[in-house]
Amino acid sequence: MKITGYLSEFSLGEMFRFLAQGRKTGCLTIKPVETGEEMTALPLASAYYTFFHHGNIVAATTSLDHQELQRLIAKWGWLRISTIQKLAQLCPPRTALGLFLKTQGALDGEQLQLLFKQQVLTPIPHLFRIKDGWFEFDAHHPLPYAEMTGLTASPMEITLAGLRLLRDWTPLLDKLPLPSSTVVSLLQGELPHHLSRSEWQVWEHIDGTLSIEQIAARLNQSVLDIQKICFRFMVVGMVEEVAAIAPVDSMATSPDHEMDALPITEISHSFLQGLLTFLKGKKEAA
């Protein structure tokens, strides 16, 4: 399966939710077409590759040469590249190189965590600053075991971190929940994420009845700030937006004014059988 699009159409947060909820395995490629805020924490590259395994992020690179993890280890001064390559020849297939190096005693757990932080946890949230980019998710892309530490990160946590870092929300303004909408919790049980103070305040007001603008008024905050927080909750699957009914538009007219007075009647068995027979005949005639 390959799916493509632009982040201006389907945002990175929505894409991460898609991959996490679908427990997808494969490679997400992002090629920026418009960069946004200064992205010093993100290496300059023409493409960013994020690898998923059963919905979790397992590696991130800016090339497909399978040598970035080696270079990173060498950069820290822990092992020479020649040593890593010798050891890598002994690495069993479908085994993360980082984990293998740990089992060989060449690296320890703390070093793996530092590598994963530099490879995934620090740079990926900054991908959210890309204003627009082309993306492709390839479910048939093989996992890059030579780039994997063996550690994983939740795309939802990364999304929360990325959206909290974001200063310029312009590309996401048309994706925010409407001020008149209510947001309804989708959670049963405990909160799956640690919330900031402002997020927690909003969360406490999400009762399925208050609109976003009403929550903003109660917290004495701007509607936009509440929209941003609710958007964060939406893309990590904590809530869903339920649109409100807009005020009556006097220009709209109905061709069937009597519809509102119609009763809701049960449809009979014979009606459905007759309709299906009719449709079958219509299909054969088409």
Partner 1 sequence: MEIMRIVVTGPVGAGKSSFIRTISEIDVVDTDRKATDETAAWKTKTTVAMDFGRLHFGKDVALHLYGTPGQERFDFMWDMLIRKAHAFILLVSSHRPQDFRAARRILAFMRHRASIPMLIGLSHADNPAAWPMDAILLALGYPSSHHRPPAVSVNALEPASVVNALAALIEAYARDKWQNSTDSIKMHSFSGVM
**Number of chain residues interacting with partner 1 (CB under 8 A):** 51
> Binding to partner 1 by residue 277, rule CB under 8 A?
yes
In angstroms, the CA 158 to CA 136 distance is 19
Q: Compare residues 110 and 284 and give the one whose CB is closer to partner 1.
A: 284
> Binding to partner 1 by residue 76, rule CB under 8 A?
no
Residue 44: count of CB within 10 angstroms of its CB = 9
Q: Is 259 exposed, middle or buried (0-12, 13-18, 19+ CB in 10 A)?
A: exposed
CB of 243 to partner 1, least distance (A): 5
Question: For the chain, where are the alpha helices, taking DSSP H only?
Answer: 12-21, 68-76, 81-88, 97-103, 109-116, 155-165, 197-204, 212-219, 223-235, 269-285
> Binding to partner 1 by residue 169, rule CB under 8 A?
no
In angstroms, the CA 249 to CA 253 distance is 9
Q: Compare residues 142 and 208 and give the one whose CB is closer to partner 1.
A: 208
- Contact map string, positions 31 to 60, toward partner 1, x by CB under 8 A: ------------------------------
> Binding to partner 1 by residue 265, rule CB under 8 A?
yes
In angstroms, the CA 67 to CA 148 distance is 10
Among the listed residues 114, 119, 142, 121, the one whose alpha carbon sits nearest the alpha carbon of residue 53: 142
Residues 222-251 binding partner 1 (CB under 8 A) are 240-249, 251
Task: Enumerate binding residues for partner 1 (CB under 8 A).
Answer: 1, 3-5, 8-10, 14, 18, 21-23, 175, 184, 240-249, 251-256, 259-260, 262, 264-265, 267-269, 271-280, 282-283, 286
